[in-house]
C-alpha cells in the first residue's frame, strides 16, 4: 500500500500532508481531533538529515500543538550506510529523535507507530519501535537482516537457518515473528481509521512488550529475567 492510499484509509475525514523527497508530514483529521503525522516513503534509508528532520518535527509539535497525538508512518530499509553518516554521528541523530519523542510522551502526547511497508534494523529502532505501541499492516516487511547475509556473517549454514526459522521466531525476518516476540502489538486489516481510533484510546501503559512476548511464546525468558534482576535480593 503506498503512502497516499494509506493516509486516505487512515483519515477518511481528510488530511493535509506534504511530501518532500523521502519525507512526509502533516496532519490528519480524526474523531480524536487533529493527529500529527511524520513519515517516510520508498523504504527510505535513515541518515543524519532525515533523523534530524523528524526530530525537528517532533519538537515543533510539542511547542506548537501541546498534547497532539503523533502517528509515525516510517517506511525504511534501515540506517543509511555511509562513512559520512558515521563521521557525523548518525547514532547521535537517531538518539536525538528518540529523546524528542520521549519529551512528547512526557508531555502527554500519544505516539502511535504503524509499519506500513518496510522496517529494518537501526531504522526500525529509530522510528516505529519508539512508539507507545507499534502496529503493522499484514504485508509489512520487518527484519534485522535477511537470512543469506546472516548466514555469511554468523557462518551458520543457510539451510540450518531456514530450517530453524520454521519453528523459531527468534531471528528470521517476518512481521508474524515480531508479533510473536511482542514488538508489534497487532496487525491492522480492514478499517484502518477504526484501528487508529482504538489505538488513540489506549491509556499510557509503559513498555509492555515483554509481557506480550511471553504470552505469545516468542520470548519466554525476557520478562522473567528482567523481573528477577529488578527484584533480586541485595
Q: Which of residues 16-45 bind other proteins (CB under 8 A)?
A: none
Asked if residue 93 binds other proteins (CB under 8 A), the reply is: yes
Rounded to the nearest 5 percent, the helix, strand and coil shares of the chain are 45, 20, 35
Instruction: Give the DSSP H or E segment for 55.
Output: helix 48-64
Asked if residue 114 binds other proteins (CB under 8 A), the reply is: no
Asked if residue 197 binds other proteins (CB under 8 A), the reply is: no
User: Quick one: 1 or 43, whose CB is closer to other proteins?
Assistant: 43
Asked if residue 166 binds other proteins (CB under 8 A), the reply is: no
| Inter-CA distances, 180 with 4, 77, 151, 213, Å | 29, 22, 23, 6
Asked if residue 129 binds other proteins (CB under 8 A), the reply is: yes
CA gap 197, 206 in Å, rounded: 19
Exactly one of 49, 186, 187, 200 binds other proteins (CB under 8 A); that residue is: 49
Which among 11, 85, 7, 10 has a CA at the least distance from the CA of 49? 85
At closest approach, how far in Å is the CB of 7 from other proteins? Answer: 26
Asked if residue 169 binds other proteins (CB under 8 A), the reply is: yes
Judged by CB under 8 A, the stretch of 12-20, 25-33, 188-196, 207-215 that binds other proteins is 207-215
User: Quick one: 18 or 153, whose CB is closer to other proteins?
Assistant: 153
User: Quick one: 85 or 118, whose CB is closer to other proteins?
Assistant: 85
At closest approach, how far in Å is the CB of 37 from other proteins? Answer: 20
**Residues 175 to 194 in contact with other proteins, rule: CB under 8 A:** 177-178, 181-183
Judged by CB under 8 A, the stretch of 6-14, 25-33, 193-201, 204-212 that binds other proteins is 204-212
Q: Strand, helix or coil at 172?
A: coil
* Residues pairing with 25 in the sheet: 18, 38
Q: Strand, helix or coil at 80?
A: coil
Phi, psi of 141 (to 5 degrees): -110, 110
Phi-psi map region of 108: left, alpha, beta (phi>0 left; psi -120 to 50 alpha): left
Asked if residue 139 binds other proteins (CB under 8 A), the reply is: no
At closest approach, how far in Å is the CB of 11 from other proteins? Answer: 27
Tell me, by CB under 8 A, how many residues bind other proteins.
Answer: 77
Query: Cell triple for residue 14?
Result: 481528510
Asked if residue 200 binds other proteins (CB under 8 A), the reply is: no
Query: Cell triple for residue 36?
Result: 500529527
Cβ atoms 182, 212 nearer than 8 A: yes
Amino acid at each position: 500500500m503506498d503512502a497516499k492510499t494509506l493516509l486516505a484509509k487512515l483519515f477518511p475525514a481528510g488530511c493535509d500532508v506534504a511530501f518532500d523527497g523521502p519525507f512526509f508530514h502533516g496532519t490528519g483529521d480524526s474523531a480524536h481531533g487533529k493527529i500529527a503525522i511524520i513519515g517516510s516513503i520508498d523504504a527510505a534509508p535513515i541518515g543524519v538529515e532525515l533523523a534530524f528532520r523528524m526530530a525537528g518535527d517532533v519538537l515543533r509539535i510539542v511547542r506548537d500543538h501541546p498534547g497532539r497525538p503523533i502517528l509515525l508512518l516510517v517506511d525504511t530499509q534501515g540506517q543509511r550506510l555511509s562513512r559520512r553518516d558515521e563521521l557525523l554521528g548518525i547514532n547521535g541523530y537517531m538518539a536525538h529523535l528518540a529523546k524528542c519523542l520521549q519529551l512528547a510522551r512526557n508531555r502527554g502526547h500519544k505516539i502511535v507507530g504503524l509499519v506500513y511497508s518496510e522496517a529494518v534494523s537501526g531504522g526500525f529502532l529509530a522510528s516505529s519501535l519508539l512508539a507507545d505501541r507499534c502496529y503493522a499492516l499484514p504485508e509489512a516487511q520487518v527484519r534485522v537482516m535477511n537470512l543469506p547475509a546472516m548466514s555469511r556473517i554468523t557462518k551458520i549454514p543457510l539451510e540450518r537457518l531456514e530450517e530453524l526459522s520454521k519453528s523459531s521466531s527468534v531471528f528470521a525476518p517476518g512481521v508474524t515473528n515480531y508479533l510473536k516476540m511482542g514488538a508489534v502489538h497487532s496487525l491492522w486489516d480492514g478499517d484502518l481509521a477504526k484501528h487508529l481510533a482504538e489505538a488513540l484510546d489506549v491509556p499510557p501503559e509503559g513498555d509492555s512488550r515483554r509481557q506480550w512476548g511471553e504470552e505469545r511464546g516468542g520470548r519466554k525468558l525476557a520478562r522473567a529475567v528482567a523481573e528477577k534482576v529488578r527484584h533480586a535480593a541485595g
